[in-house]
Structure 1
Amino acid sequence: MDSSLPFGQRTLVTLALLIALAGVAFVCGPVHAAQTPLPNILLIVMDDIGIDQWKLFGYGGATPAATPNIDAIAAAGIKFHNLWTMPACSNGRATLFTGRYPLRTHVYTALGNNDLANFMVNPNEVTAPNLLRQRGYKSALFGKFHMGIQSNNPYGYGMVRAFGFDYFYGWLDATGDPSSIDGTAGGVAPPGTWSCGFVRDANHGGADSGACYSGNNACAVMSKSGAEAPGRICRDAGGIFDPNQPCINPTPDNINFATLSGHYVSPLTINNEDGSIEQVPSTDLRARTYRGTDPVDAAINWINQQPASQPWMVSVAFATAHTPVMQPPAQLLPPSEADTSNLDCSNSLDQRVITNQMEEALDSEVGRLLVATGLASRGQNGQLIYRPNQTNTVIVMVTDNGSLGTVVKAPFDSSQAKSSVYQTGVWCPGIVAGPPVKKPGRQVNAMVNIADLYQLFGELAGIDVHQNVPRTVDAQSILPYLLNPSQPSIRKTNFTQIGTNLHANGEINSPCQFNTTTCSQIAPTKGVCEDNGGIWWGPGATDPSTVGIPADGLQLCCDVAVWQANHAQTILTNIYPLEAFAIRNANYKIVINNYEGYDAPSNACLATSTKEFYQINENVPLPKLDNDNLLASGTPLNRQQKKNYDALTAQLAQILASQPACPGDINLDRVVNNADIAEWQMFQQLSGFSSWADINLDGLTDSADLAIILQNQGACPTPHPAQVPAAQSRPIPVASR
Structure 2
Amino acid sequence: MIQCTAKPSLASLFVALTLLAGGIGHAHAAGRADATSKPPNILFIVLDDIGIDQFRTFGYGGLTPPAMPNIDRIADAGVHFRNTWSMPACSVSRSVFFTGRFPLRTNLYAALGPDDLANSMLSPWETTLPKLLKERDYESALFGKFHIGLQGNNPFGDRMPASLGWDYFSGWLDETGDPSSIDTTAGGVGPQGTYACGYVPGARDGGADAGACYSGDGSCRVMAGTGPNPPGRACRDSGGIFDPEEVCRQPRPSYIDFNLMSAHYVSPLVINRPHGVVRRLPLTDVRARTYRGSVPVDAAIEWIEQRAGDKPWMATVSFATVHTPLQAPPLHLLAPDARDTNALDCSAVGAFPILSNQMIEALDTEVGRLLLETGIVKRRRRDGALRYNPENTDTMLVIVNDNGSLGYTVKQPFDGARSKGTVYQTGVWTPLIVAGPLVEEPGREVTHMTNIADLYELFGELAGIDVHERVPRTLDSMPMLPYLVDPMQDSIRQWNFTQIGLNLQADGALNGPCQFANSCSHIPVTKGVCEDNGGVWFGQGADGFSDGVPIPSEGFTYCCEVQQWLTEQVPPQDTVDILPQSGVAIRNDTFKLVRNNTKDYDPTTNACVDSESDELYEIDEARPVPKLDTEEAMLDEPFTSVQQANYDALSDQLAVILSSQPPCSGDGNIDGVVDIRDLVAYRALRWLSRGTSSWYDLDLNGLTNSADAATVRQNLGTICSK
The question of a shared fold, defined as TM-score above 0.5 by the shorter chain, is answered with yes
Letter in 2 for 1:209: A
In structure 1, distance between residues paired with 2:250 and 2:383: 46
Match of 1:727 in 2: none
In structure 2, distance between residues paired with 1:10 and 1:40: 31
Match of 2:394 in 1: 392
Q: 2:684 aligns with which of 673, 677, 682?
A: 682
Superposition map of 1:335-374 within 5 A = 335-374=336-375
Match of 2:3 in 1: none
In structure 1, distance between residues paired with 2:477 and 2:88: 17
Which is worse superposed, 660-669 or 525-534?
Answer: 660-669
- Equivalent position SS for 1:300: helix
Match of 1:9 in 2: 15
Superposition map of 1:599-638 within 5 A = 599-627=602-630, 633-634=636-637, 636-638=638-640
Displacement of 1:34 in angstroms is 4.8
Match of 1:503 in 2: 505
Letter in 1 for 2:241: I
Displacement of 1:171 in angstroms is 0.6
Unpaired runs of 5+ residues, structure 2, are: 1-6
C-alpha contact (below 8 Å) 2:543/2:550 kept by paired residues = no
Q: 2:514 aligns with which of 498, 512, 515?
A: 512
Displacement of 1:559 in angstroms is 0.9
* Shift in CA distance, 553/359, structure 1 to aligned 2, threshold 3 Å: same
Superposition map of 1:458-607 within 5 A = 458-515=460-517, 517-545=518-546, 550-567=552-569, 568-607=571-610
- Equivalent position SS for 1:313: strand
Match of 1:314 in 2: 315
* Shift in CA distance, 191/467, structure 1 to aligned 2, threshold 3 Å: same
Match of 1:169 in 2: 170
Displacement of 1:145 in angstroms is 0.2
* Shift in CA distance, 422/631, structure 1 to aligned 2, threshold 3 Å: closer
Letter in 2 for 1:11: L
C-alpha contact (below 8 Å) 2:27/2:136 kept by paired residues = no
Letter in 2 for 1:689: T
* Shift in CA distance, 256/40, structure 1 to aligned 2, threshold 3 Å: same
Displacement of 1:455 in angstroms is 0.3
In structure 2, distance between residues paired with 1:625 and 1:6: 53
Displacement of 1:627 in angstroms is 1.8
C-alpha contact (below 8 Å) 2:107/2:504 kept by paired residues = no
C-alpha contact (below 8 Å) 1:614/1:629 kept by paired residues = no
- Equivalent position SS for 1:134: helix
Match of 2:69 in 1: 68
In structure 2, distance between residues paired with 1:437 and 1:656: 35
* Shift in CA distance, 495/629, structure 1 to aligned 2, threshold 3 Å: farther
Match of 1:281 in 2: 282
In structure 2, distance between residues paired with 1:211 and 1:203: 18
- Equivalent position SS for 2:499: strand
Displacement of 1:670 in angstroms is 1.7
* Shift in CA distance, 66/34, structure 1 to aligned 2, threshold 3 Å: farther
C-alpha contact (below 8 Å) 2:543/2:553 kept by paired residues = no
In structure 2, distance between residues paired with 1:547 and 1:674: 58
Please report the TM-score for the alignment, with normalisation by the length of structure 2: 0.96
- Equivalent position SS for 1:428: strand
* Shift in CA distance, 385/547, structure 1 to aligned 2, threshold 3 Å: same
Displacement of 1:310 in angstroms is 1.4
C-alpha contact (below 8 Å) 2:544/2:550 kept by paired residues = no
Letter in 1 for 2:360: E
Which is worse superposed, 579-588 or 543-552?
Answer: 543-552
C-alpha contact (below 8 Å) 1:292/1:319 kept by paired residues = yes
Displacement of 1:193 in angstroms is 1.1
Letter in 1 for 2:334: L
Q: Aligned pair count?
A: 712
- Equivalent position SS for 1:698: coil
In structure 2, distance between residues paired with 1:340 and 1:92: 32
In structure 2, distance between residues paired with 1:662 and 1:562: 39
Displacement of 1:547 in angstroms is 5.4
Q: 1:249-303 CA distances to partner (integer Å, 9 max, x unpaired)?
A: 1111111110100000000001111311101000010000000111111110000
Displacement of 1:26 in angstroms is 6.5
Unpaired runs of 5+ residues, structure 1, are: 720-737
Q: 1:440-489 CA distances to partner (integer Å, 9 max, x unpaired)?
A: 01111110100000000100000000010000010000000100111111
Q: 1:139-161 CA distances to partner (integer Å, 9 max, x unpaired)?
A: 00000000000000000011111
Match of 1:729 in 2: none
C-alpha contact (below 8 Å) 2:457/2:477 kept by paired residues = yes
Displacement of 1:27 in angstroms is 3.2
Displacement of 1:492 in angstroms is 0.4
C-alpha contact (below 8 Å) 1:28/1:468 kept by paired residues = no
Letter in 1 for 2:302: N
Match of 2:447 in 1: 445
In structure 1, distance between residues paired with 2:627 and 2:667: 43
* Shift in CA distance, 560/5, structure 1 to aligned 2, threshold 3 Å: farther
In structure 2, distance between residues paired with 1:378 and 1:101: 40
In structure 1, distance between residues paired with 2:405 and 2:15: 40
C-alpha contact (below 8 Å) 2:47/2:318 kept by paired residues = yes
Displacement of 1:56 in angstroms is 1.0
- Equivalent position SS for 1:597: strand
C-alpha contact (below 8 Å) 1:4/1:277 kept by paired residues = no
Letter in 2 for 1:245: E
C-alpha contact (below 8 Å) 2:29/2:35 kept by paired residues = no
C-alpha contact (below 8 Å) 1:7/1:162 kept by paired residues = no
CA RMSD of aligned residues (A): 1.6
- Equivalent position SS for 2:442: coil
Match of 2:155 in 1: 154
In structure 1, distance between residues paired with 2:36 and 2:383: 35
Which is worse superposed, 412-421 or 210-219?
Answer: 210-219
In structure 2, distance between residues paired with 1:412 and 1:651: 27
Q: 2:712 aligns with which of 689, 709, 713?
A: 709
Q: 1:276-335 CA distances to partner (integer Å, 9 max, x unpaired)?
A: 110100001000000011111111000000101111110000000000010001001112
Letter in 2 for 1:576: L
Q: 1:214-239 CA distances to partner (integer Å, 9 max, x unpaired)?
A: 11111111111433221111111111
Letter in 1 for 2:85: W
In structure 1, distance between residues paired with 2:224 and 2:620: 54
- Equivalent position SS for 2:72: helix
Letter in 2 for 1:617: D
C-alpha contact (below 8 Å) 2:401/2:432 kept by paired residues = yes
Displacement of 1:3 in angstroms is 4.6
Displacement of 1:181 in angstroms is 0.2
* 1:433 and 2:439 correspond: no
* Shift in CA distance, 278/632, structure 1 to aligned 2, threshold 3 Å: same
In structure 2, distance between residues paired with 1:64 and 1:548: 40
Match of 2:297 in 1: 296
Displacement of 1:608 in angstroms is 0.7
Displacement of 1:601 in angstroms is 2.2
Letter in 1 for 2:190: A
In structure 1, distance between residues paired with 2:624 and 2:256: 50
- Equivalent position SS for 1:672: coil
Displacement of 1:163 in angstroms is 1.1
* Shift in CA distance, 326/461, structure 1 to aligned 2, threshold 3 Å: same
In structure 2, distance between residues paired with 1:275 and 1:718: 35
Match of 2:188 in 1: 187
Q: 1:698-731 CA distances to partner (integer Å, 9 max, x unpaired)?
A: 1100001111112222334548xxxxxxxxxxxx
Q: 1:324-367 CA distances to partner (integer Å, 9 max, x unpaired)?
A: 01000100111221222222111222211111010001000000
* 1:33 and 2:34 correspond: yes
Which is worse superposed, 308-317 or 382-391?
Answer: 382-391
C-alpha contact (below 8 Å) 2:181/2:532 kept by paired residues = yes
Letter in 2 for 1:154: P
Q: 1:388-410 CA distances to partner (integer Å, 9 max, x unpaired)?
A: 11111000100111100010000
